[in-house]
Amino acid sequence: PGIVVADVASSLVSGLPFPIVVTLAASNVAQVLLAVWLLKRFAGFRNPMERVRDVLGLAVFGSLLTTAAGAAVGVGAHVALSSVPVAAAGTFWLTWWLADAIGVLLLTPAILTWASWKAVRFSARRVAEGGALAVTLVVVTLMVFTGHLHHPYLIAPAMVWAAFRFGQRGTATAIVLVSSLGIAMTSKGMGPFILATPAASLLSLQVFLGVVAVTAMLLAAILAERQAAREALEHALAEVESRVRERTDELESANAALQLAQTQWSQFLETSPDVMWIKDVEGRYVAVNDVFLRFWGKRRDQVVGRTDDGLGTQDLAAVRASDAAAMRDGSYQSEFTEHLGGQESVFHVKKVGLHDGEGRVVGTLGVARDVTDRRSAEDALQREKAFTDAVVDSLPGIFYLLDTQGRFVRCNKVAENLTGFPAAKLYRKPALLMVPRKDRPIIERKLEEAFEVGQAESEATIVDAEGRTRVFLLTGTRADIGGETYLVGHGTDITERKKMEEHLLQAQKMEAVGNLAGGVAHDFNNLLQAMLSLTQLIRSDRPDAPRRLARLAELEDHIKRGSRLTRQLLLFSRQEAVRPETLDLNEAVLEAEVLLHRLLRENIALENELTAGRLPVEIDRSQLNQVIMNLAVNASDAMPEGGRLTLRTGALGGSWVLLTVEDTGHGIPEEIRGRIFEPFFTTKGAGKGTGLGLSVVHGIVTRHGGTVEVESR
């Protein structure tokens, strides 16, 4: 923007036409941009021009080439507008070009160097010298241009002074000072460059000043490069000296460390209780310790510098192969046996490859340790462990060892088989995780009691790997083993015993209730029979009374229902006469299906899955039918909205058969599942059931030597 404003202002003041003004402004801007691009692209220009290539680049690209192009554009504009004749265009262009080129050489260096980041160092001596240089330049220039001195080259020594002492910035400033005085004096007709016309005089002066400027700036650049090279060399020398000192210090430290390491290694080699040696890549011994010499019964001069030939009874091929493996793979381990003092000794050998500072393999380091006692102890420990494992695994129940946090440390095979968890999965697993959540507080208190008191006993339900539960009687005793406190526990599986106890208790309850029900049923049945006889007598005495007959019929119906109830009670109490016979379970199910189809609601689908062949059972026919009917009716009551009822038979092997009645109802809640076979227990509303159906089933089945089980989801 500044270039454009200056060009437009100066051109308008000169009275040039507006088209020429615009053309010149655009040309000057393009000239500057072109010069910058050429300097960066081809000269690698850097300010403040302290390299020869910077000065030459400014002279060639910034002064000569771009100004020539700018002058051509300006002259072309004048010729186009007829302000300059075509015949005078060449002279006009030459004058324009030289003026612009010399102007760039004289003014641009001063602007660039003073605009650079390099700070000016002021001191009294420096200021005095600068003042003396300025006075000298002014005096010499005035004397040359006033005629007292007729040799313009006398300005050169002062310019050399500026280049040597003040660098490129001082040189550029001196050029501006001399140029200003020279142009001013020549414009007044004074000086050695006066020619026929003022324009010719100024052109001659400009050429002179351009040559002086380029020469002085080149000298300043050469001096600056030399100074930079000297400083770089001094810096490099200082860095080299620093590195040499550092390297010397490192070498001294390394030598000291090496000396210390050698001393320590020698001490370690001689004080080690193990057999130790060093070999080179050829297998020759470089160093051995005294233990090595005593082991083989050799002197040092009989070993060092020699190979393994003649040392002992070792397999030489195997020794060389192990050395090669250590050098190839980095390390090698093995064991060998030697007969020493009439007994066999076992040695553990480890060899490692040795490398120099550049990573090349230079040999092997070997260590042999007598592990006979350790191996004997390990073998004894293994035998002891095998004996302990055999004893623990032979225990009839589960054996376990818990730490103070209640985690498994060890268990026997029985524990693995019963719980379904391998010992590896039980290790460090909290024992409480195998107990149902509701029982954990009780077992946790028992564990605390065992660790505090020393012993505890408890029944616990254990959940195995498949989610099944088993009941164990657990005993735990505190024990100190190897300085640690543990709980040594033993568990007996009492699942079947608990089931038998429950069955026995249920049977005893059923028998007690049955005896009571049987007695009541006999007395009640006698009363019913008497009442039934009386109703029959009344019916025969007054056959002509319809209302009385209807009431007698109703009374007779109730008496019969009571009789059926007493029959169920007698059946439950096992006082009903039993007539067992051999029946086919499949045929009994099919016969019951005929009655069930009429008895069940329409929204219940009755299906069967009967096993192939006969399933002979020894049972009372009516009681078997009673079992099937009671189970089916009970299942249908569990499906008020309908569903599927399946009768399934099967053979269990031996003399056992299976009858399954399955429904798709709402299921039986867990909290009442254990009570469904109790007499008179029912979940139905009042008047909708006696609570004897499943009790009768249980009584009939157990009376015939069978069992009843229930599953519900």
Task: Kindly report the average pLDDT of the chain as a whole number.
Answer: 80
> How far are the Cα atoms of 355, 444, 449, 452 from residue 404, in angstroms, in the given order?
51, 12, 12, 11
Q: How confident is the model at residue 569 (pLDDT cuts 50, 70, 90)?
A: low
* Number of Cα atoms under 13 Å in the Cβ half of residue 491: 26
Sequence spans of domains, the chain: 1-111, 120-241, 272-370, 385-493, 497-576, 577-713
Task: Tell how far CA 13 is from the center of its chain.
Answer: 79
Say yes or no to pLDDT of 105 above 90. Answer: no
| Tens digit of each residue's pLDDT (9 = 90 or more) over 423-452 | 788 788 888 888 888 888 888 888 888 888
Using a 10 angstrom Cβ sphere, with 0-12 exposed, 13-18 middle and 19 or more buried, the burial of residue 582 is exposed
DSSP codes joined into one string, 357-370: TTS-EEEEEEEEEE
When mean pLDDT is compared across 286-290, 642-646, 681-685, the lowest value belongs to 681-685
> How far are the Cα atoms of 168, 181, 323, 713 from residue 161, in angstroms, in the given order?
11, 18, 78, 113
Ramachandran region, residue 42 (left: φ > 0; alpha: ψ -120 to 50; beta: rest): alpha
Say yes or no to pLDDT of 646 above 90. Answer: yes
Please state which of the four CATH numbers 3.30.559.10, 3.30.565.10, 3.20.20.70, 3.90.228.20 is assigned to the domain occupying 577-713.
Answer: 3.30.565.10
Establish whether domains 385-493 and 577-713 are of one fold.
no
> What distance in Å separates the CA atoms of residue 475 and residue 398, rounded to the nearest whole number?
10
Residue 517: per-residue pLDDT = 55
Residue 229: per-residue pLDDT = 87
Q: Which among 157, 155, 169 has a CA at the least distance from the CA of 217?
A: 169
Q: Are 652 and 612 in contact (CB under 8 A)?
A: no
Q: Which of 48-52, 82-86, 466-470 has the highest mean pLDDT?
A: 48-52
Say yes or no to pLDDT of 148 above 60. Answer: yes
Q: How confident is the model at residue 560 (pLDDT cuts 50, 70, 90)?
A: low
When mean pLDDT is compared across 36-50, 120-134, 532-546, 687-701, the lowest value belongs to 532-546
Residue 310: per-residue pLDDT = 67
Say yes or no to pLDDT of 7 above 70. Answer: no
Q: How confident is the model at residue 538 (pLDDT cuts 50, 70, 90)?
A: low
Q: How confident is the model at residue 491 (pLDDT cuts 50, 70, 90)?
A: confident
Residue 26: per-residue pLDDT = 76
Residue 2: per-residue pLDDT = 46
> What distance in Å separates the CA atoms of residue 222 and residue 313, rounded to the nearest whole number?
82
Tell me the mean pLDDT in the region 61-86: 82
Could you tell me what percent of the chain has a pLDDT over 70? 80
| Tens digit of each residue's pLDDT (9 = 90 or more) over 365-377 | 989 888 887 877 7
- Amino acid making up residue 49: M
Residue 437: per-residue pLDDT = 85
DSSP one-letter code for 688: S
Residue 517: phi and psi, rounded to 5, are -65, -35
Say yes or no to pLDDT of 223 above 60. Answer: yes
* Assessment of whether the complete model's pTM goes beyond 0.85: no
> Could you tell me which residue, 268 or 697, shows the higher pLDDT?
697
Using a 10 angstrom Cβ sphere, with 0-12 exposed, 13-18 middle and 19 or more buried, the burial of residue 133 is buried
Say yes or no to pLDDT of 8 above 60. Answer: no
> How far are the Cα atoms of 20, 483, 620 from residue 193, in angstroms, in the given order?
32, 115, 155
Q: Are 320 and 364 in contact (CB under 8 A)?
A: no
* Number of Cα atoms under 13 Å in the Cβ half of residue 248: 6
CATH code given to domain 385-493:
3.30.450.20
Say yes or no to pLDDT of 182 above 80. Answer: yes
Residue 3: per-residue pLDDT = 47
| Tens digit of each residue's pLDDT (9 = 90 or more) over 505-525 | 566 555 555 554 555 555 456
> Domain 272-370, what architecture?
2-Layer Sandwich (3.30)
Task: Tell how far CA 211 is from the center of its chain.
Answer: 74
Tell me the mean pLDDT in the region 93-104: 84
Residue 642: phi and psi, rounded to 5, are 90, 170
| Tens digit of each residue's pLDDT (9 = 90 or more) over 313-369 | 567 888 888 889 989 998 899 887 776 666 777 888 899 988 887 888 889 998 988
When mean pLDDT is compared across 28-32, 139-143, 256-260, 578-582, the lowest value belongs to 256-260
> What distance in Å separates the CA atoms of residue 94 and residue 96, rounded to the nearest whole number?
5
Tell me which H or E stretch contains 282: none
